[in-house]
Amino acid sequence: MSRNRIDHLAAVGNASDPQTWSGIPYHFWRATQRAGWATEPWRLELGRWRLSRRWWNLGQVLRGRGAGGYQYSARFLEQAEDSIPAEQWRGRLLSFNQHFPRSASVGGRGGRLVRYLDATFASFCSPGGLADGLPRRVQLAACQLERENLAASEKVVTMARWAADSAVRDCGVPPSLVATILPGANLELPADFDFPLPAGRPGRDRPLVLGFVGKDWKRKGLPFLIEVRAALGRMGLPAIVRCAGNCPPGLKRHPGVEYVGFIDKAREPGRFVAFLAGCDLGCLFSEHEPLGISTLEFLRAGVPVAGFVTEGLADTLPPDAGFRFPVSATEEEVALTLRDAFTDESRVALLRANARRWSPRVTWERCIAEWSELLNTGKITRPVQPWLGS
């Protein structure tokens, strides 16, 4: 094992599959290959436990405990860990998950573990958090296992500052073991990509294009963005919301919404890049967001971004290449800011130029370089910090 390398990658799923966890493990792995690392992904096939999951949930319901939480259960974790060949536990393992594999299992098999997390599970258990639907007993047990796992990890690296704060505050991890490394955008630009600009002046020659990417359309703020579009129209700036991902039938038919459907980034990378580049502004108005990979994807394509300054999303909105709004901002306040910006041609040109400047800095190659420095020296000399514009 080389001191500054990752030997294996783990996720809840096949870490070499671009469909696993938004493609983050896959793109991390690809970047390690380009860096010359001999990193091997764990290929956990979740379909083999489909029946086990159903029986486990049925048993919980019959006991009056409520369904949900199988992936945090000892049954799942033991079965999943036992499916991994013995040789793949050796060396340093990076896991993108708070619970799998368990740190005790890694140590017991002679390995070392670092974790790379977008959030702590404890932060999901706060009121209104993403774990709200799980039974309380499952939340408490999963939080306890998380504390044990993080305490026994060699390093706990988070993708944003809010998760690092939570690891220390909610999980008891010593600050000396915690670091933050911004991930990369989950797309690879063509070698000849020249940052094409949408034709015409937004709001004058054509509508301003507000881009949206997301499966969880409600949490990620699509209804809010549609209201922003309507407010812009009332202010005299025509706009459309161009949406990729999931969108309910009612919003698909909404005036000013241009729904392009789901774009498979792995099978149609050119179409996805063209979608991003065809927008004037990438938008993510989510009130709960562990990170915000879509804002990094827009920046990678040279498109300015806008969103709420909350949780991990606060770290992916450069002030010189986008718009940072408090969660309390109204549709009218957001629209007014955007109208003032996009009716000023010099400001539009500067926003686009700055977004293009950020493009090479929001890559997985840069992320791996920071990981290498951290593992080699214990610190990162000049980490990329979009919220500071540096």
Express each pLDDT in 349-366 by its tens digit.
999 999 999 999 999 999
SS3 30: helix
**What is the chain's mean pLDDT, rounded?**
94
Between CA 96 and CA 175, with CA 317 as vertex, the angle to 5 degrees is: 45
The CB density around residue 310, as the number of other CB atoms within 10 Å, is: 17
Domain residues for the domain of 222 are 208-361
Query: pLDDT tens for residues 70-85?
Result: 999 999 999 999 999 9
Shared domain for 31 and 130, answered yes or no, is yes
**What is the value of pTM for the model shown?**
0.95
Closest CA to 1 of 43, 40, 44, 30: 40
Lowest-pLDDT choice from 20-34, 121-135, 199-213, 356-370: 121-135
Distance between CA atoms of 48 and 288, rounded to whole angstroms? 32
Q: Does residue 348 fall inside a structural domain? A: yes
**Average pLDDT score over residue span 293-315:** 97
Are 239 and 317 contained in the same domain?
Answer: yes
CA dist., res. 69 & res. 56, Å (int) = 10
List, for residues 28-73, the tens digit of each pLDDT value: 999 999 999 999 999 999 999 999 989 988 888 878 778 788 999 9
Helices 345-358 and 331-342: angle between axes, nearest 10 degrees: 100
Domain shared by 64 and 150, yes or no = yes
Q: Which residue has the tokens 């919404």?
A: 257
Q: Which amino acid is at 116?
A: Y
Residue given tokens 């063509």 in the structure block:
190
Residue 194 domain-assigned (yes or no): no
For residue 373, the one-letter residue type is: E
- Domain presence at residue 234: yes
Are both 162 and 282 inside the same structural domain?
Answer: no
Domain assignment of residue 3, yes or no? no
Residues 332 and 238 in one domain: yes
pLDDT tier at 335 (50, 70, 90 boundaries)?
Answer: very high
Within this chain, do residues 216 and 329 fall inside the same structural domain, yes or no?
A: yes
Residues 6+ apart with CB under 8 A from 104: 148, 152
Domain count, the chain: 2
Specify burial of residue 111 (Cβ count, 10 A radius: 0-12, 13-18, 19+).
buried
Q: Is residue 32 located within the same domain as residue 117?
A: yes
Identify the CATH number of the domain in which residue 104 sits.
Answer: 3.40.50
The tokens for 204 are 């004058």
Looking at the structure, tell me whether residues 251 and 381 fall in a common domain: no
190 lies in some domain = no
Shared-domain flag, residues 161 and 228: no
CATH number of the domain encompassing residue 251: 3.40.50.2000
For residue 198, being part of any structural domain is answered with: no
Q: Please name the residue ranges forming H helices in the chain.
A: 24-34, 50-62, 74-82, 103-108, 121-124, 136-151, 161-169, 222-234, 249-252, 269-277, 293-300, 331-342, 345-358, 364-377
pLDDT at 3 (0 to 100): 62
Establish if 51 belongs to a structural domain.
yes
Residue 253 and residue 340 in one domain: yes
Asked if residue 144 is part of any domain, the answer here is: yes
Assess whether 380 and 335 both reside in one domain. Answer: no
Same domain, 292 and 163: no
Where is pLDDT greater, at 376 or 62? 376
Q: Tell how far CA 227 is from the center of its chain.
A: 25
